[in-house]
């Protein structure tokens, strides 16, 4: 009798399974700098990507009602960690696409070693090195943030317009630091500025006093630090202040972190400015800002708009591709190319209906219109920020 009951139960379960097959989750990787030099920035970036995922699931899910799942991996802003995290995401978790990695060196390593060979599309929201543009990627690597070739040159022009004609430049010896420093130097010197010191430094050293002393010997009163505010950039900024090597300090997006404010105090950072990408004012940005605020997020945190857009765009591309990971990259170009019915952040149900009807859509992102060029790059907007209280406020736009 017991054997009969087990067999009957098994038969019933089998019949139920045949009648209503379980939907498999659709996974995308969220590879971020959870540890390492941007650890303070990463949580907000991952949270904003998860907001996009939540909106998809709350509006009926992806494809045939499947659940979209974000699989978090720690790329640690490190090439080896990024390769390991991407390998796990692709080969173990079975992701169909990836948001990230967050840092340029991590993007280059993960792409070359893992995602390009696997044909997996990745969209980095914060990998800004110009080297990403020239990747031989079979059109699988994209970004929702502009290249540092633009940021470095815009920062140089902005400083010159503000009357800063002579600077020293300290840059982290990695893909991010080198690319940004070279574009800054080229534009600054071309427009008549003087680089009084220009030197790379290794990360995570206990002291940079000798580096700073050498840079200060050129006579500049302004130090441009192209590094991360959660790592060696913070150490360098602290020691420069403690020893009075410079009077003014400039950073790029990597330095626009809460860490220097928390560690050094806003009162000690009155002469510190940082450039960073900003979302262009739009209905899309308003929609994102409200939604992110409603779930406890800070819409002004760095790279949250680009992170959200990367995740939402990948969801749209997966839907357009019918879940075929080999078609996701091509679909990314189709859902955001300036043609079709506009789709704003959060408008998943509308997009899904249009895609099902075979109609073209055009995603209008929180960070701007992401109409990818041939290299998978996008245009964008930057602003110069100053420390204000416990955060940052815009000083001026950068052109």
pLDDT, one tens digit per residue, over 294-336 is 999 999 999 999 999 999 999 999 999 999 999 999 999 999 9
Range of the domain at 207: 149-277+382-398
Residues 99 and 208 in one domain: no
Which residue would you say has higher pLDDT here, 157 or 279?
Answer: 157
Does 14 fall in a domain? Answer: no
- In this structure, are 249 and 389 located in the same domain? yes
Strands 121-124 and 141-143 turn out to be: parallel
- Domain holding 170: CATH number? 3.40.50.2300
Same domain assignment for residues 261 and 154: yes
Residues 225 and 291 reside in one and the same domain: no
**Consecutive H or E run containing 316:** helix 304-320
pLDDT at 277 over 90: no
CB atoms within 10 A of CB 219: 10
Q: Is the model's pLDDT at 161 over the cut of 80?
A: yes
Average pLDDT over residues 163-186: 97
Within this chain, do residues 273 and 308 fall inside the same structural domain, yes or no?
no
Mean pLDDT of 353-365: 98
For residue 384, give the 3-state DSSP assignment: strand
Number of domains in the chain: 2
pLDDT interval class at 279 (50, 70, 90)? confident
Question: Is residue 22 scored above 70 in pLDDT?
Answer: no
Report the chain's mean pLDDT, rounded to a whole number.
93
In a domain, 5, yes or no: no
Average pLDDT (146-152) is 92
Q: What is the pLDDT of residue 381?
A: 82
CA-closest candidate to residue 51, choices 319, 294, 349, 367: 294
> 279-284 long-range CB contacts below 8 Å, 24 or more apart?
279/305, 279/365, 279/366, 279/367, 279/368, 279/381, 280/367, 280/368, 280/381, 282/364, 282/368, 283/344, 283/364, 284/344, 284/345, 284/364, 284/365, 284/366
Higher-scoring residue by pLDDT: 351, 24: 351
What's the pLDDT at 346?
A: 98
For range 22-41, the mean pLDDT: 91
pLDDT band, very low/low/confident/very high, at 399 (cuts 50, 70, 90): confident
The per-residue pLDDT for 241 is 97
In this structure, the answer to whether residues 130 and 273 fall within a common structural domain is no
pTM: 0.88
Asked if residue 124 lies in contact with residue 146, where contact means CB atoms within 8 angstroms, the answer is no
Together in a domain, 197 and 304: no
> Which residue bears the tokens 């978090």?
72
């Amino acid at each position: 009798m017991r054997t009969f009951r087990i067999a009957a139960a098994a038969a019933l379960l089998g019949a139920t399974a045949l009648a209503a097959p379980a939907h498999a989750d659709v996974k995308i990787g969220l590879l971020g700098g959870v540890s390492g030099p941007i650890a303070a920035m990463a949580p907000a970036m991952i949270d904003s990507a998860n907001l996009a995922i939540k909106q998809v699931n709350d509006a009926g899910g992806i494809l045939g009602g499947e659940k979209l799942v974000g699989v978090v991996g720690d790329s640690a802003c490190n090439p080896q960690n990024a390769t390991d995290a991407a390998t796990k995401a692709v080969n173990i978790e079975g992701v169909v696409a990836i948001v990230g990695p967050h840092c340029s060196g991590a993007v280059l390593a993960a792409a070359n070693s893992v995602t390009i060979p696997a044909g997996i599309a990745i969209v980095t929201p914060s990998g800004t090195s110009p080297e990403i543009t020239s990747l031989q990627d079979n059109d699988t690597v994209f970004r929702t943030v502009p290249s540092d070739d633009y940021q470095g040159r815009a920062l140089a022009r902005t400083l010159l317009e503000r009357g800063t004609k002579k600077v020293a430049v300290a840059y982290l010896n990695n893909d991010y630091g080198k690319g940004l420093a070279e574009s800054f130097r080229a534009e600054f010197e071309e427009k008549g500025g003087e680089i009084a010191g220009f030197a790379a430094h290794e990360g995570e050293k206990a002291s940079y006093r000798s580096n700073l002393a050498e840079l200060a010997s050129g006579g500049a009163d302004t130090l441009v630090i192209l590094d991360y505010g959660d790592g060696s950039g913070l150490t360098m900024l602290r020691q420069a202040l403690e020893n009075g090597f410079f009077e003014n300090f400039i950073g790029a997006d990597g330095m626009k972190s809460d860490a220097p404010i928390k560690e050094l105090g806003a009162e000690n950072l009155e002469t510190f400015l940082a450039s960073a990408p900003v979302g262009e004012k739009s209905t899309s940005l308003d929609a994102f800002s409200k939604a992110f605020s409603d779930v406890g997020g800070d819409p002004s945190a760095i790279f949250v708009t680009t992170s959200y857009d990367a995740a939402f765009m990948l969801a749209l591309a997966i839907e357009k591709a019918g879940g075929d990971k080999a078609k996701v990259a091509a679909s990314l170009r189709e859902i955001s190319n300036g043609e079709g019915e506009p789709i704003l952040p959060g408008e998943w149900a509308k997009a899904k209906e249009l895609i099902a009807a075979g109609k073209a859509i055009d995603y209008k992102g929180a960070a701007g219109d992401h109409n990818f060029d041939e290299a998978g790059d996008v245009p964008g907007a930057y602003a110069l920020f100053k420390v204000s209280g416990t955060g940052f406020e815009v000083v001026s736009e950068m052109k």
